[in-house]
Homo-oligomer: A and B are copies of this chain.
C-alpha cells in the first residue's frame, strides 16, 4: 500500500468541478465519470428526513454506474419538487455524456429547504462535461460547503500482480455526527470486484471511520458515501468466497489488501473532516474501554464527544475536567472504578482514579491541553466493550459560522 499524489484518479475515471451559480463565487457543481460501467456501493444517513438525491441513489445503485453528479450550496431536501429536480439534472447529465440517466448517482449538500436553482445547473452541464479530466482537484473543491480545505487521498495497491488505485474525495464540516453513513464521500477505484463484496468492504470501512466521528452531534439529511469500482485495473475479479475459482489463500490476501486500502482512505478522510470541523482548533480522540454492556462504551464516548462544556474546555485549554466525569454520570453509567487519562504526544496524565478526582500536576496537564491533537482515555473497568470516537473542540467560530 503506497499513498500517491492526492489528486490522482483510478484508470478510466475523469473528474470535473465548476461554478454554476448556486453559490456566489465558489465552485458548486462536480462530476465523476467512468468510461467503463462500474459496480457501485453506497451508504446514506439514517435521518428520517432524507434529501431527494438519496432516494434516487438508492434506486439507481442497483445498476452499473457511469457517473456521479454533485452540487454544493443547496441540499435539495424537504421540497415537494426535490425528486423531480434531481431527475431532471440526471436527465441533462445523461444526455450530455451519452449514457442512460439511470446509470447516474446524484448527491447534494448545503442549505436545507430552499429549491435548487436548476436552470443555473442546466445551463452549465455541457461545460461541466467538457471540463472532465484525469485529476480530482476541481471536483474536490466543487463539493465543499463551510469546509476550509478540500479533502482528497489516493493510494496504490498490488492485487494479484496488478496495480490498483483507490481514490477518495470528501467534504464536511458541520452537521457531522453520522451513524451508519456520513457526509459526502466519493471513493473510486479501478479494481475488479464483485458488487456484493464491494458493499461489504465499504460498510466495514465506514463503520471504523465516518461512523466514529462527531463534530456537533447533528445528523445530516444528505450524508452519502459512494464507492465505484470499474475493473479497469485488470486484476482477477475479487469474488465472495462462494464464487471463487482461484486458490482460497491468495484470494483472501487480495481481499484483505483491498479492505486495508479502503479502510485507510475512509479513515484518512474522516480525520480530515474532524480537523476541518466548523470552528475546530483541536482534534480529540475519545477512547472508552472496560464497558460492561455493548452500548455503554458508545453512549459514554458520544456523550463526552458531544458535550459543549467539554468541547469548550478543550478549546480554552482549561483544566475544568470535572465536566468529563459529569458527562459520564449523565449517561447513567456507574462511576465507581472509573479511571480517566489525558494522553498527549509525549506524556500522559491520570485525572480521575477509581471514581474520584486526584491531585494532578497542573503544569503537565496544561502542557498536554495546549497540544493540537490529544486522546481522552476513559476506563470504566467493568467489562470488555470499548469504543473510539474522533471529535473536535467548540469555539466561538462555530457559532459565528452557523448563526
| A residues in contact (CB < 8 Å) with B | 46-50, 75, 77-80, 111-114, 174-175, 216-221, 307-309, 312-313, 315-316, 318, 320-323, 325-335, 352, 355-357, 394-396, 398-400, 402-403
Contact = CB atoms under 8 A, between A and B. Distances in A.
Given A308-B218, A356-B80, A49 B316 contact: no
A381 B77 CA distance: 21
A403 B315 contact: yes
Contact of A309 (B113, B175, B332): B175
Most central of A49, A332, A356 by chain B CB within 10 Å? A49
Contact of A335 (B49, B174, B313): B49
A174 to B, nearest CB: 7
Contacts of A308: 216-218, 308, 398, 402
The 7 A-B residue pairs with the shortest CB-CB distance, nearest first, are: A112-B322, A316-B403, A49-B329, A113-B322, A396-B396, A219-B330, A113-B357
Given A313-B403, A403-B316, A352 B48 contact: no
A17 to B, nearest CB: 24
A46 B334 CA distance: 12
Nearest to A50: B329
Contacts of A325: 49, 77-78, 112-113, 221
B326 A221 contact: yes
Contact of A218 (B46, B47, B79, B326): B326
Contacts of A50: 329
Copies of the protein in its oligomer: 2
A399 B402 contact: no
Most central of A315, A329, A395 by chain B CB within 10 Å? A329
A335 to B, nearest CB: 5
Contact of A329 (B174, B221, B355, B403): B221
24 contacts: A47-B326, A48-B329, A48-B333, A49-B330, A78-B352, A78-B355, A78-B356, A78-B357, A79-B356, A111-B322, A112-B326, A113-B352, A114-B357, A174-B309, A175-B309, A218-B309, A218-B323, A218-B327, A220-B326, A309-B402, A312-B399, A315-B403, A318-B403, A399-B399
B309 A216 contact: yes
Contacts of A219: 326, 329-330
Nearest to A217: B308
Given A329-B221, A356-B79, A357-B113, A403 B48 contact: no
A399 B331 CA distance: 23
A216 B310 CA distance: 12
Given A174-B309, A312-B403, A352-B78, A322 B114 contact: yes
A217 B307 CA distance: 8
A218 to B, nearest CB: 5
Most central of A80, A322, A323, A352 by chain B CB within 10 Å? A322
Given A49-B335, A308-B402, A326-B175, A113 B217 contact: no
Nearest to A308: B216
Contacts of A218: 307-309, 323, 326-327, 330
A393 B80 CA distance: 30
Given A48-B328, A112-B357, A395-B403, 15 more contacts: A46-B332, A48-B331, A77-B322, A77-B326, A78-B325, A112-B323, A216-B308, A216-B309, A218-B330, A219-B330, A313-B402, A315-B399, A315-B403, A395-B399, A398-B399
